[in-house]
Amino acid sequence: MDIIKQTITIQNKLGLHTRATIKLVELVNNFDATITIKHHDKQADADSVLGLLVLETCYGQEIEIIATGTEAKQAMFAVTKLIENKFLEDQ
């Protein structure tokens, strides 16, 4: 089983807020993979809106993404693209 780790900076001005979190959860549910997001000393599964909101990530902060499973590479690519594209928001 693949385990992939990547650190990325939050690009959108509002950080990992509710709308962005919902987009992330919907995205990761399309893959046969488990995605975990780490921020400082907290971590959450990327399929949990509440868990992700508790991370309190803001613009410019780094998070670590950990992907495991048969589609870990595809899931990591999709998640990093969503974050790099500012969760498809104007801000």
Known catalytic residues? 17
At residue 5, φ and ψ (nearest 5 deg) are: -125, 145
Q: Scan for tokens 């992700």, then name that residue.
A: 52
Beta strands, E only, the chain: 3-9, 34-39, 42-45, 62-68
